[in-house]
Amino acid sequence: MDFRPTDDQRALQAGLRDLLEGRFGRERLRAAVDGPDRGPGLDRALWRELGAAGFFALRLPEEDGGVGLGLPEAVLVFEEAGRALLPGPLVATHLAAGTVAGAATGETVVTMVDGGLVEWLDAADRVLGDAAGAVPVRSVDPLTPLHRVPGVARTAPHPEAVLLTAAEQLGSAVRTTDAAVQYAREREQFGRPIGAFQAVKQLCAQMLVRAELARSAVYAAAVTADPVEIAGAKLLADDAAVRNARDCLQVHGGMGFTWEADVHLHLKRAWVRAERWQTAGAAAEVLAGAL
Amino acid sequence: MDLTWTEEEEDFRARLKAWLGLALPKLPAKPDPMDWPGRRAYDTTWQRMLYDAGYAGLHWPVDAGGQGATPTQHLIFLEETERAGAPYVGANFVGLLHAGPTIAAEGTAAQRARWLPPVLRGDEVWCQGFSEPDAGSDLASLRTRAVRDGDHYVVSGSKIWTSHAEVADWCELLVRTDPAAPKHRGISWLAMPMDAPGVTVRPLRTLAGSTEFAEMFLDEVRVPVANRVGDENDGWRVTMVTLSFERGTAFVGEVVACRRTLGELAAAARANGRWDDQELRRRLGRLNAEFTALWRLTQWNVSEAQRTGGVPGTGGSVFKLRYSHARQELYDAAAAVLGPESLDLSHDWTLDRLSSLSYTIAAGTSQIQQNIVAERILGLPKGR
Ligand SMILES: Cc1cc2nc3c(=O)[nH]c(=O)nc-3n(C[C@H](O)[C@H](O)[C@H](O)COP(=O)(O)OP(=O)(O)OC[C@H]3O[C@@H](n4cnc5c(N)ncnc54)[C@H](O)[C@@H]3O)c2cc1C
């Protein structure tokens, strides 16, 4: 047993982090939110680059043109996507690779109806599920266009979609922890960095604990692929992403409440993901049922 | 990311399970929780059985009398002994989990030879004399004095919250050997015999009504200089080694026990109809996620220790923070399952609920652990 990622897995994760930093760094993120070309548009060129980097084909067998890796590797790259707040129907397209032509290479953008919601409907080339009668929503998350689909009953969640979403939540929780810690080291009040004040320290420590517990849960569920562990991973990762974003906002004080600070983007995306694939209540029922 | 066991580890597990199946029925009946001499006898009997079977000090280094097992094997040991319902370390807690490892890491050859074998055999029980009435979280402000007199220290002062003091043979004692030095610099770590003249133990009642800890008064107690572990006035560094063991590994086995309890809670709730309460059911589901993840976090920490080999790192504080709160939530949920029965002290879960209140205090309060995480892991500035 060696639970920690192997050197190859670390290298894969670092590779995607570098790619995203170069291609979708802070400036691109802000341009997507604030720029003149903002709107329902998805950065197709970036989508194809992700395809070329194997993001969507990661788990397809090599003989089918895929990378031939497994869920643990997928979880590591989705963690990076969550960290960078990468927009788009990433989970749906990843899952469609191998069944929908062009999804694996990033040529085709695929979205999926889930729980009466569908994201990126206008930008997608293919919609899985019945989106008839979809009405646009004024999405809380500026980088996730949403439609509501009336009359759709929640179906049993796709376990891999649940897990990959949890991995994105983990990445976001880690990122907001880093941001809070960095701000706490730099911002001075009463003649010292606010991170020297215990009340601030304790918020940061709790953020780390939430993120690390979520990491253990998400990584283990990726190894075992056990639906009960996956439910636990989603529950804890939702919690870490949402609560860490809130605490990060608190550490940033008034600055945290502005549009300029990125933390609201993390919080809003975390809220969207918490509503998707398996909610906390549904996950808790699965976990209770297993006792 | 590998959660499978090697063939060697599976063999180890199978042998251990087989042995547990034979050994546990031979244990005497569990003593009354208030009967400390009875509990000492029970816990040391179990330790002797472990020793005879080659499982004592499993992960201690071989030159300290241990088996030199890997951290993973130690994890399997904790998992299987808990699963089989074997006794927890109990009265051997301090000797096995922190005084022993500290002596193994910092003691001389003679000190190891004197103190480690009796701990492993269950012949001697240790207690921890760190806290004082005015030195709890601020441990380094301790005042118990040790004045050199030839080849002895003469120790005077008092200690408090000393668990198992009533039944201990030895005490890992922190004393001030240089009152003029800055507070962290004048401390030494001594092994004090509990039967030395001048040691008085006065049991303190806990909120659960038992006397699991005590006050200790030290009146000119003579302790040989040879009993000092580490250099004179270097005791704070030695203490940090002790505390990293205490926080790093000491609670791990209990996670398995909590998962077992959670299963029992679900069964009880199904039997008494409270399972139909959605809120309660989901609370138990959530705890399932917590304890499963805490176990995975342990495997993560053990993987880390396996790689670096040696003293567990600050990851132990992350674990302890979450675990201590989760344990309290577990027994609050137990009370919700029991309903009015939760007010009955004869129910184990009621006593466990009371004792769970100590987890966010003992071995460093949650507030102090958060400071450690913030300063040593996250690198935030020291301050107040
Ligand atoms: C069941 C049990 C068994 C124990 N066994 C032993 C033993 O065997 N040997 C031994 O030596 N000790 C033992 N202890 C003592 C234990 O280590 C101390 O109780 C603990 O370290 C806290 O110290 P204190 O009780 O003096 O509380 P205090 O330090 O007075 O703390 C009181 C409150 O103030 C908070 N606080 C204090 N300082 C700070 C700070 N800097 N920042 C934020 N908050 C702060 C604390 O978190 C706490 O909430 C035991 C305690 C218990 C409950």
CA nearest to A239 within chain B? B286
Whose CA is closest to atom 2 on ligand 1? Answer: B362
Residue A102 CB neighbour total at 10 angstroms: 17
Check if A285 contacts B (Cβ < 8 Å): yes
Residue with tokens 């890992």: B172
CA of B361 to the centre of ligand 1 (A): 5
Interface of A with B in 9-38 (CB under 8 A): 9
* Contact between A213 and B3 using a beta-carbon 8 Å cutoff: no
Q: Tell me if B72 and A206 make a contact (CB, 8 A cut-off).
A: no
Q: What is the pLDDT of residue A108?
A: 97
User: In the beta sheet, which residues pair with residue B226?
Assistant: none
Best substitution site from B93, B96, B127, B131 to test ligand 1's pocket, by max atoms within 8 Å of Cβ?
B131
What is the CA(B277)–ligand 1 centre distance, in A? 37
Check residue B317 and give its pLDDT.
84
Q: Considering only CB atoms, which chain A residues are within 8 Å of B381?
A: 185, 192-193, 195-196
Residues of B in contact with A198 (CB under 8 A): 367, 371, 383-384
Residue B87 Cα distances to B125, B327, B345, angstroms: 16, 19, 22
| Strand, coil or helix: B129 | strand
Interface probe with B: pick from A69, A216, A224, most Cβ of B within 10 Å: A216
What is the distance in angstroms between the CA of the first residue and the CA of the last residue of chain B?
39
Q: Which of B303, B379, B382 sits opposite A3 (nearest CB)?
A: B303
Pick the residue from chain B with its C-alpha nearest to A219. B1
User: Is there a contact between B371 and A198 if contact means CB atoms under 8 Å apart?
Assistant: yes
Q: What is the pLDDT of residue B212?
A: 84
- The pTM score is 0.92
C-alpha–C-alpha distance, residues B331 and B352, integer Å: 7
Chain B positions touching A205 (Cβ under 8 A) are 321, 369-371, 373-374, 378
Residue B246's pLDDT is 53
Pocket (CB within 6 angstroms of ligand 1):
A 198; B 127-131, 136-137, 161-163, 213, 358, 361-362, 364-365, 367-368, 371
Nearest CA to ligand 1 atom 48: B365
Give the C-alpha separation, B329 to B165, whole Å: 29
Nearest-CA residue for ligand 1 atom 1 is B358
Whether residues B288 and A232 touch (CB distance < 8 A) is answered with: yes
Taking contacts as CB-CB distances below 8 angstroms, the residues of chain A near B289 are: 217, 231-233, 235-236, 283-284, 287
In this complex, the residue of B292, B318, B370 whose CB is nearest that of residue A202 is B370
B171: nearest Cα among B202, B204, B201:
B201
Q: What tokens does A131 get?
A: 């989106």
Q: CB-based contact (8 Å) between A227 and chain B? A: no
CB contact under 8 A, B373 and A193: no
**Min Cα separation B377/chain A (Å):** 9
The answer to whether the CB atoms of A223 and B5 lie below 8 A apart is no
Per-residue pLDDT 10s for chain B (384 aa) are 999 999 999 999 999 999 999 999 999 999 987 888 999 999 999 999 999 999 999 888 898 899 988 888 888 998 899 889 899 888 999 999 889 989 998 999 999 999 999 999 999 999 999 999 999 999 999 999 999 999 999 999 999 999 999 999 999 999 999 999 999 999 999 999 999 999 999 999 989 888 889 999 999 999 999 999 999 999 998 887 767 655 555 567 789 899 999 999 999 999 999 999 999 999 999 999 999 999 999 888 888 877 776 555 567 888 999 999 999 999 999 999 999 999 999 899 999 999 999 999 998 899 999 998 999 889 999 975
Within 8 A of A231 by CB-CB distance, chain B residues are: 289
**Residue B276, token pair as written in the block:** 């139909």
By the 8 A CB rule, do B147 and B153 touch? yes
* pLDDT of B33: 78
Determine whether the interchain pair B288/A228 forms a contact, defined as Cβ–Cβ distance below 8 Å.
yes
Kindly list the residues from chain B whose CB atom is less than 8 angstroms away from the CB atom of residue A183.
none
Q: Helix A159-186 crosses helix A227-251 at what angle (to 10 degrees)?
A: 20
Q: Which residues of B are catalytic?
A: 246
Confidence bin at A40 (pLDDT 50/70/90): low
ipTM above 0.95, yes or no: no
* Tokens linked to B243: 């505390």
Sign of CA dihedral B72, B74, B79, B84: positive
From the list A195, A208, A220, the residue facing B296 with the nearest CB is A220
Residue nearest to atom 24 of ligand 1 (CA): B136
* Residue B341: both structure tokens together: 């029965």
Question: Ligand 1 center to residue B381 CA distance, Å?
Answer: 23
- CB atoms under 10 Å from CB of B125, counted, come to 25
The tens digit of pLDDT for each residue in A224-259 reads 999 999 999 999 999 999 999 999 999 999 999 999
Per residue in A57-106, pLDDT (tens digit) is 999 999 988 999 999 999 999 999 999 999 999 999 999 999 999 999 99
DSSP 8-class letter at B188 = E
| Amino acid found at B134 | D
Q: H helices within B192-314, ranges in order?
A: 235-249, 252-272, 278-308
- DSSP conformational letter for B169: S
Whether A238 contacts chain B with CB within 8 A: no
Mean model confidence pLDDT for chain A:
94
Distance from Cα B140 to the centre of ligand 1, integer Å: 13
- Kindly give the distance from the C-alpha atom of residue B372 to the centroid of ligand 1, in angstroms, as a whole number: 14
Q: What is the pLDDT of residue B231?
A: 96
Q: How far is B380 from chain A (nearest CA, A)?
A: 6
Is A209 close to B318, i.e. CB distance below 8 A? yes
Residues of A numbered 104-133 whose beta carbons fall under 8 angstroms of chain B's beta carbons: which are they?
A: none
Residue A76 alpha carbon to ligand 1 centre in Å: 39
Nearest residue to A10 via CA among A182, A178, A219, A266 = A219
Q: What is the 3-state secondary structure (H, E, C) of chain A?
A: CECCCCHHHHHHHHHHHHHHHHHCCHHHHHHHHHCCCCCCCCCHHHHHHHHHCCCCCCCCCHHHCCCCCCHHHHHHHHHHHHHHCCCCCHHHHHHHCCCCCCCCCCCCCEEECECCEEECCCCCCEEECCCCCCEEECCCCCCCCEEECCCCCCCCCCHHHHHHHHHHHHHHHHHHHHHHHHHHHHCEECCEEHHHCHHHHHHHHHHHHHHHHHHHHHHHHHHHCCHHHHHHHHHHHHHHHHHHHHHHHHHCHHHHCCCCCCHHHHHHHHHHHHHCCCCHHHHHHHHHHCC
DSSP assignments along B273-288, one per residue: TGGG-HHHHHHHHHHH
8 Å CB contact between B355 and B327? no
Is residue A37 over pLDDT 70? no
| Closest by Cβ to B384, choosing from A185, A198, A208 | A198
Q: Which tokens in the block code for residue B301?
A: 């920490």
In this prediction, residue A34 carries a pLDDT of: 86
The pLDDT, as a whole number, for residue B249 is 59
A205/B379 CB distance under 8 A: no
| Residue A38, pLDDT score | 56
Give the pLDDT of residue B120: 97
**What confidence score (pLDDT) does residue A131 get?**
93
The mean per-residue pLDDT over the stretch A134-141 comes to 94
- CA distances (Å), origin B158, targets A7, A219, B94, B188, B238: 52, 48, 19, 15, 21
Determine the distance separating the centroid of ligand 1 and the alpha carbon of B362, expressed in angstroms: 6
